[in-house]
A and B are shown apart, each in its own frame.
Chain A
Amino acid sequence: DSGVTQTPKHLITATGQRVTLRCSPRSGDLSVYWYQQSLDQGLQFLIQYYNGEERAKGNILERFSAQQFPDLHSELNLSSLELGDSALYFCASSFLPRTVVRYGYTFGSGTRLTVV
């Protein structure tokens, strides 16, 4: 167990629907990162939160949004789902931004989303 918990592990839903993916960071980590891994695009950074606030944004679609709550867990919301959104979604956490070298970086086991 890496300490980063992602739920659910698998999700199958229809096009046009909305889903929420959840991530609990490793105990003590304040920063959460979301990544998407698709067959054609590989691993891509979506968004980062630090202590409840958005810190950095990557190639995240407007149909996607995220937030980090006071207890530091984070949710990634995907709406108006399309077939191309099928992918593995990973969450990772670190203590503080810019402290990776000292404190490390931990991945969750991912949520596999299948849009049918």
Chain B
Amino acid sequence: KNEVEQSPQNLTAQEGEFITINCSYSVGISALHWLQQHPGGGIVSLFMLSSGKKKHGRLIATINIQEKHSSLHITASHPRDSAVYICAVSKGWLGNTDKLIFGTGTRLQVFP
């Protein structure tokens, strides 16, 4: 079983819809990262969370440490949000390294 599980694997939406991507993990972590990758492109860090909730523009990320679960929400989705969204965790002070353990990603397509 993967240490980081994401769902759904694929997601299609109409422009304007509210989108939720979920991430569950099974290890102790110091931080959870939400990353965005456009086709053929580099990786952009959207959020890094150790507790609570963060908001940036139309993106909201939440984490529940007790339940080992995080969600990424996109409000008023737009075609430019089409990308792969990747959840990753780092053990940080719980381990001796900040290497990331990745989920398999969620491919999002938003149609006009």
Contact = CB atoms under 8 A, between A and B. Distances in A.
Q: Which of B31, B43, B93, B101 has the most CB of A within 10 A?
A: B43
B99 A101 contact: no
B43 A110 contact: yes
A102 to B, nearest CB: 10
A109 B42 contact: yes
Task: Classify the secondary structure of A's interface with B.
Answer: strand
B97 interface: yes
Contact of B96 (A55, A90, A107): A55
Interface stretch (A13-21, A41-49, A75-83): A41-49
B48 A45 contact: no
A97 interface: yes
Contacts of A90: 42-43
A48 B99 contact: yes
A58 interface: yes
Contacts of B17: none
A92 B100 CA distance: 10
A8 interface: no
A100 B31 contact: yes
- Chain A contact residues (Cβ within 8 angstroms of B): what range? 20 to 34
B48 A104 contact: yes
Contacts of A110: 42-43
B92 A100 contact: yes
A105 to B, nearest CB: 6
A98 B92 contact: yes
A55 B97 contact: yes
Contact of B105 (A33, A42, A98): A42
Given A105-B33, A112-B40, 13 more contacts: A42-B105, A44-B102, A56-B97, A97-B92, A97-B97, A98-B96, A100-B48, A100-B90, A105-B48, A105-B100, A107-B44, A107-B45, A110-B42
Interface of B: 30-31, 33, 35, 40-45, 48, 50, 86, 88, 90, 92-93, 95-102, 104-105
Interface of A: 2, 31, 33, 35, 42-45, 48, 55-56, 58, 90, 92, 94, 97-101, 104-110, 112
